[in-house]
Structure 1
Amino acid sequence: MTAVPERGPGRIEIRGLTKRFGSFTAVDQLDFTVQPGRITGFLGPNGSGKTTTLRMLLGLIRPTAGTATIDGRSYRDITEPLTVVGSALEATNFHPGRTARDHLRVLAAVAGVPDTRVDEMLELVGIPAAARKRAGGYSMGMRQRLGLAGALLGDPRVIILDEPANGLDPEGIRWLRGFLRHLAGEGRTLLISSHMLSEVEQTVDDVVIIANGRRVAEGTVAELHGEPTAYVRSSRLPALADALHRAGITSEPRDDGLTVRSGDLAHIGDIALAAGVPVHELRADQTHLEELFFNLTESDEHRNRNRSGHEAPPETLPPGELPPPSGAPVSTAAPSQEVDR
């Protein structure tokens, strides 16, 4: 009798997750949650612990302390993991002499899915014409699409991708954005690691930012942007500030204009018009995710300047640790000798 795949809602929970390599702490008491039906961006500078965290979540590295679970279970405890979790941590985990179709057929055999699913995935990610070409000749963008096809073979509820937009041209990035939104719309859980902040800002619902292995911010994109404000310039700034004050809106001088504590540009314009004040410039003035990212990570780096070392050692399995169990994550390479990204 064939076992019924374990397909819970797909909630990811990271609690007190810690990983030490000797005296170096790569991930330090990390806590965050990824909700089903949403795209969560996982951000951090190089060496911040992103890839180490994802590898612990996928059972490729044992944590020193804490837990990383999917629907309350560790990856190793999921009996049919490829139908629950699909992942792509690297775009190079295939034999260069093997065609894309044959690469996916091998993964499909491990996952227990029919070869017809392979052709469906090649069509879905937009590389059916290259299916019989050797993958070693693929561009980085095509490799990313092949990795995504592999991650989706088991029709998983949870999808974990590390830098999925790397190597994609503008058209490919636009396609990826729409594709990820489609997957989230189906109720799947998406955790996306990326350093392309402007792209993340247009794609994700929630953001987790880490630095030096610790969480420095978590929330929706709107929450992290903070209170909406506007910037306005006028030749009669005192009169404009007074009119805004009488309307119950605070403002403060900035450069040759005002920062207004309101994001309603039409209302600000109407107040200026009613007061007979000319407006030379009026625009939304939110903190961009990129600015927030650098402010948070640079502040954390400054606070931890005296920590011993900033580069993680090679991510090898410590003595006595076992490789991933049978049914390892789709399109996830075994631990490599590269430094955490």
Structure 2
Amino acid sequence: MHLFNGFFFYSILLFIFGLSGCGGSSSKATDSITAPPISSVTPTVLQGIFVDSAVAGLTYTTATQSGKTNAQGQFLYIEGEEVVFSIGDIKFPTVVGQEMISPLDVFSVTTTDDVRVSNMARLLQTLDEDGIAGNGISITDEAHNQAIAVTIDFGADNFEQQVVDVVANAGATYTSLISVQRAIEHLNLSLANNLSLRKCAADSTKIGYTGTFSTLAHNVSGTVTVINNCTIEISMFNFDGAAPNVKFYAGVNGNFSDAEAFGIGERIDGRSYSNETIILTLPEGKFVDDFDSLSVWCVEFQANFGDLRLLAP
């Protein structure tokens, strides 16, 4: 009887330990489960453009990207990054990277009447290497060199004095700041043109049409080519600049004074042009199908200094 009781006792113990072993095994299996690896996604590098016309040669820096804006004014950034643009040691206020940045975005305003905006536009357009902001703005290496150890306040009353030495020695066409009025006129036109260009298609039958200016006065000459529905290129352009209030004017059948005629771009008087290239974007709502003739037109005296007819190549 005692033998039976002992056997029964040990059987119970083995059963209990067996259950404990099963429970321990289950716990160990649960502890060994590992979380799936977290995938690493490389952020997409985006491309933006700095405009007052496209501005080439601006230094830019983000947390991951740096360099100089290219001929199209383009820079690189990752979504959400802040960008600092600069000329030498003249640093622009920090701005969040986006598809298009203008002086308005830099100062977080919505109007070009802000004095900081107008002063930035004046500086950029004055430092443009060839002095023709309408064909793009190019900031030279010499401008960067002249701006070393220079800091400025775009809103200061003495802004002109702060940049006088940089402007005078940058090697650009202009050696003193252009006027506020001229800078704002160009900036407004450039912003409007950029919005228009985004909507501009390339399906006109006139794409590729060309024409050559006749020389009627003031040494006007050059060739025009239609680029797309909203854009024309003027190459090898010459004009002595010695006449007031002159613009490119579009018309029909060589008529530049009737209701169908319209100006393109900013005024071109006040300086001479020698074999230069100018890119013109038509005013918003106007297209190359709206005209067949182009003139270097004196608005003040309704005088034609040279014109052309666009023809198929």
Task: Pick the TM interval, shorter chain.
Answer: under 0.3
- Higher-strand-fraction structure: 2
- TM-score (structure 2 length as normaliser): 0.22
- Higher-helix-fraction structure: 1
**Higher RCO by CA contacts (8 Å cutoff, separation 6 or greater):** 1
